[in-house]
Structure formats: C-alpha cells, structure tokens
Chains A and B, each alone.
Chain A
Amino acid sequence: MSVLVFAESTNGKFKKSTLEAVCYGKQVATLLGTDCIALADGALDASELASLGKVGASKVVTVKHDNLAHFDAKAYSYVVTEAANKTNSDVIIFSYNVSGKAVAPIVAAKLQAGFVAGAVGLPEIANGFVVKKGAFSGKAFAYYNIKTSKKVIGLTPNSFPITSTDATATVEVLDINIPAEQFSVTVKETVKTTGDILLTDAELVVSAGRGMKGPENWGMIEEMAKILGAATACSRPVADIHWRPHGEHVGQTGITIRPNLYIAIGISGAIQHLAGVNQSKTIVVINTDKEAPFFKAADYGIVGDAFEVVPKLNEAFRKYKAANH
C-alpha cells in the first residue's frame, strides 16, 4: 500500500501545485505509515524527476507516450489508474487544478474510490478517514469521511505549504501500454491567456471592480501587480462588460482563490464576490464608501479614492521593494 501523487509538469518543470500535492502526499503517507510515490511524465529530465525527492517522494514512476503531450482526460485517467494498480497504491492524490478536475473524478469512479474534491487539510484518521473541503462556494467547509479502502483526494491549490529537504527520489520507468481507443480528443490549438502568474497559484492578488470607472484606468492596477509580483483579478461585472478578460473573474460563479494577500480596489464586496476570495489570508480593501460591505471581511482598510490612493500606494510598495531587495 502506498500513496500515489499525480505529478503534473509544464515546459519541463513540475508545477507549484504539484509540489504542494507531493508535500501533502508525503504527510498522508506518514500518517498511514507508508511511502509517497509520484507519477510523472517520462519525457522530463532525470534531474527534474529526482527533484521530487526534495518535497517528499521516495520514488518517481514515469510513463512515456508521444500522445500524452496533449491533454486527454480519458487517456490520462487510464495511465493514473494503471499506475495505481502497478504501484499498489490505495490513496491517490491530485492537485485540484484545471487538469485535476478533469482526471481525478474519472480515476475515482473507475476504482470505485471515495473522492474528496477540493481538500484543504490533511485527513483525520482517528475515526474513519475524514477530509476537510471547501463548500458553499467559500462560505463554509464540509468534512467528508471516505468509506472505501481506495481513496482519491483532490487538493485545493494554495492550501498546503511546500517544505523541502535534501533528499532525492529514485526514478523507475513504468511499462504501461495505452490502448489507442483511450485517446479520445484531438487538440487543434492551445492558447495561453493569462500572464506569467497563474491566478489560482498566486500568493499575491491585486483585484479591482466597477469603482475603477473604465478599462482605461487599469494601468495603475497592473502596475501594482507588477511591483508586487502579483496576479490580477476582477469582479464579475467588470468581466461581463469586457473591461477585463473572463479568466480574471473571481467569486461564486468565477474562480475561487486563496492567496496570502488579496487587495480589493473599488469592489463593493457582494456576497457572491466574497465567496470566491474570503479564504485569502489577508484582505486589504480600498473603497470610497466607508459603508461598503467588503470592509467587514477585510483585515486592513483604506477609505479613499482609488485614483488618489493607488498611485501613492504604488510609490510606497516600490520604496519598500527597493529597500528590501
């Protein structure tokens, strides 16, 4: 019995969300008194593969197939299921990012494994196998007990810290034959739409709403994000009227994020917006209206006009960055 982690990579490197999932997998393995194995793309460099040892994998198993270069939920889930069988793994862990959402439920159903989608904490094993997850779109948490011996967990990105040691992992090639009919999707085009920092991975997020008056005023928002190394986000109406791309829309009907710092500028703080961001560690609100509901969910607030406060704050952040680097 071991714990298997689906270790996704992009441009030859493991993702931040993968490192989180391996760290989490290692902790689950320790709880269960077993080892953490990572499943990775055999096309990666040997040194990159072995580097998963640093975050807790004792072994990295790899699978290589030309067609795996394109994402296909059915084929990927076939590979993970086979790898789980071959490595005798009973607990399978995914980062619940975009790819995890496509692959993990298929694996869970194939293995008839109880599945917790969007875990935010380690399992409690004193009485069953109970995992905490987000529910009601960020307004609550639910604790799921997994009743089956095989278990699948999808870990919410940005919810588990990455810790590392000097250990390295052994690397082993798995011989998995993928039947042609498992490949079901033909990819025609791939378009990168976000900036360098993925919104769901971002530790710092600068977000703005209708208080910005128009898309032409987003320069100072982007500038703040640049100074801080943050990702940008927005409220729903701003995306709906095309001031900002849809991929930036956070909230109950958009993306749920949990960065260390969320700066909300000219956003009123409607319940649907708060649902997507209230798991942020620290929230800063800048709003002209001291009655804006967002202040109730904030740690720090400035009652003031964004057009005056933001340029001043950018100057202050720039000064801070210059002094601290």
Chain B
Amino acid sequence: MKEALPLMWRNIPERYNLLGSRCDTCGKNYFPQRKVCPNCRRKGKLVEAKMPETGKIVSYSEVFVAPTWFDHETPYFLAIVELDNHATLLTQVVDSKREKIKEGARVELLFRRIYEDSPEGAIAYGYKFKVVS
C-alpha cells in the first residue's frame, strides 16, 4: 500500500480543493499547508486558504521510468506549477498536447484519480493540471 488510508483521508481537503495556507502578516501563500511562516517566523499568522485554480508551468519533465503505482502511466509529464498567488506545487500535467507543454504555459485545475493501490483498494483522487489552449 502506497500510503495509509488515514493519511489518504486526511489529505482530502488539500488534494481535492487545494487548501493551503496564507500568512496574514506578510501575505505569502503556501501549498501544502504550513504551521509556521518561514518569512515571519513567530510574527507570522497562518490561516487556511483555498489556492487559485490557475497558474503557469515553471518547469517540467517527462517521466519514462515511474515509481510503482504509476508505471502503467508512462510516459507522463510532471511539472512545477506556480499558481496565480505565487504558491508552487508539483503536479502531473495531463490532457495536453505534447507541443503545448512548455515553460510559461497557462494551466488550469482538474480533478483526477491519482492512484489506487489495487483493484479492490480505495481510490485516491486529487489535483492534476492541463494546459489551457
């Protein structure tokens, strides 16, 4: 099993709805959620915040040799996406023509299956992104 069921369940707000943190002191956004703002340290005031559903590709790579659970998906694209509030995340980029996947390309949020540990097991859903044509 890739990750324990309780963890899969606890990750639902983050994976389904991009719930991250915003620091009310300096205004910086973080994804996933943080307990302390690295900018402000003890002066920081972190609140739960929904991240925007659009952003741009900062860098990407095509995966040919995948970890277990993802090996039937090769080749696929992994990217670091900078959301419109400057928070960054690592995500799969799917449903996009190969030539459109490049640095600076605009992307939008999708809701997809991330993995299932077996045909009988629970399905983990979450975010992926696609290039907006």
Co-assembled chains A and B: no
